[in-house]
């Protein structure tokens, strides 16, 4: 590292860690040293390592709270970056396509296109004759959005980071402070650990989906009458299609439940029959279970300044607890991490519990 540069260690090689490391590397240049340390990496399979399992796509929503407004703003940054990557580097696994929302008993925020929902690219309210037949869906929209192939995209980000001189280290840490000793003169640690090292506000949200080989040319999200969601998310570059899903808070079960597979596939077939193809069947590749990292008070994005004789003057930037929104907010978070690393104000920080 050249004199006067920064030495930064990023904890975590999920989507938040990879984008943050790349953003720091790109902005700070060769004058600084960026290292990623993680237990799990792209191509690893671990229920705790959520990024490869995701149904990664963009879905607009009406922002009706401060947290949702923050999430929406971060998502706009991500949308712009992904559009650029999809155009300039199509092999990265990002594709833009039509997206559809179908809703039972929608709130006025949806039907009146409030809270930025109506600002989604190309958003149009669907006429009733275009809503799914034989269902209780009363409202629907079509818009332009993105979908990506998580294993391909994460590998692409890691390869880009390494080719630019980024350092990587496979290690399991017990606390974020350990990262200060992993490289020379580390002044900043970025905690993208997902689970937060014993954060009392943390809890897992279990998600079970099914990866099928049936192709689909659109993303579809359906809000059911019981408040659950059914979704179809294609993975570009012949990655299959994700059918989901569940949102089970505080559920640590890592094995797929057969009855859940049957239910989500049946709901998806009813929602969008063309996905079944000519033989009228789903062709299952595998069941997927992942633990989305969540926090009671929402995503943590703030700088913590160290005290004590050995760490005084250094800081940990916390960026974890994104639930199922990691891909959607990733590049927006990366920009905020860069701002905090360079001494910017903690404008989007939330108090930690």
Residues flagged as binding site: 50-51, 292, 324
φ, ψ (nearest 5 deg) of residue 185: 55, 45
Q: Which residue ranges make up the annotated binding site for FAD?
A: 50-51
φ, ψ (nearest 5 deg) of residue 226: -90, 5
State the Rg of the chain over Cα.
21
DSSP classification of residue 327: H
Is the CB of residue 15 less than 8 Å from the CB of residue 41?
no
Question: Is residue 323 left, alpha or beta, with left meaning phi > 0 and alpha meaning psi from -120 to 50?
Answer: left
Residue whose tokens read 């903690």: 346
Q: Which residues pair with 316 in a beta bridge?
A: 189, 304
- Whether the upstream peptide bond of residue 140 has omega within 30° of 0, thus cis, is no
DSSP classification of residue 308: S
Q: Which residue ranges make up the annotated binding site for D-dopa?
A: 292, 324
Query: What is the rounded CA–CA span in Å between residue 203 and residue 195?
Result: 8
Q: Which residues pair with 112 in a beta bridge?
A: none
């Amino acid at each position: 590292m050249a004199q006067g540069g920064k030495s930064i260690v990023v904890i975590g090689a999920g989507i938040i860690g990879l984008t943050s490391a790349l953003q720091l590397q790109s902005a700070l240049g060769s004058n600084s040293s960026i290292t990623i340390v993680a237990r799990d990496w792209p191509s690893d399979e671990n229920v705790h390592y959520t990024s490869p399992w995701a149904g990664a796509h963009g879905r607009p929503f009406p922002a009706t709270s401060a947290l949702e407004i923050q999430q929406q703003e971060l998502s706009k940054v991500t949308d712009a970056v992904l559009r650029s990557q999809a155009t300039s580097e199509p092999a990265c696994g990002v594709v833009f396509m039509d997206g559809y929302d179908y809703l039972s008993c929608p709130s006025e925020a949806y039907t009146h296109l409030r809270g930025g929902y109506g600002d989604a690219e190309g958003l149009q309210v669907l006429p009733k004759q275009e809503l799914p037949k034989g269902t209780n869906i009363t409202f629907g929209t079509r818009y332009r959005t993105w979908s990506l192939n998580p294993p391909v995209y994460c590998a692409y980000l890691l390869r880009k980071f390494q080719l630019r001189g980024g350092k990587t280290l496979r290690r399991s840490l017990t606390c974020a402070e350990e990262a200060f000793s992993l490289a020379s003169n580390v002044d900043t640690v970025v905690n993208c650990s997902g689970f937060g090292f014993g954060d009392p506000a943390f809890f897992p949200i279990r998600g079970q989906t099914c990866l099928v080989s049936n192709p689909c040319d659109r993303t579809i999200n359906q809000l059911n009458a019981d408040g659950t969601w059914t979704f179809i998310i294609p993975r570009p570059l012949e990655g299959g299609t994700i059918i989901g899903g569940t949102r089970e808070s505080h559920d640590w079960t890592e094995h797929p439940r057969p009855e859940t597979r049957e239910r989500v596939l049946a709901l998806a077939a009813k929602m969008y029959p063309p996905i079944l193809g000519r033989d009228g069947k789903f062709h299952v590749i595998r069941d997927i279970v992942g633990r989305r990292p969540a926090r009671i008070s929402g995503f943590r994005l703030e700088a913590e300044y160290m005290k004590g004789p050995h760490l005084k003057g250094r800081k940990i930037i916390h960026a974890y607890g994104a639930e199922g929104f990691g891909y959607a907010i990733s590049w927006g978070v990366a920009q905020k991490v860069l701002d905090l690393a360079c001494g910017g104000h903690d404008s989007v920080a939330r108090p930690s519990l």
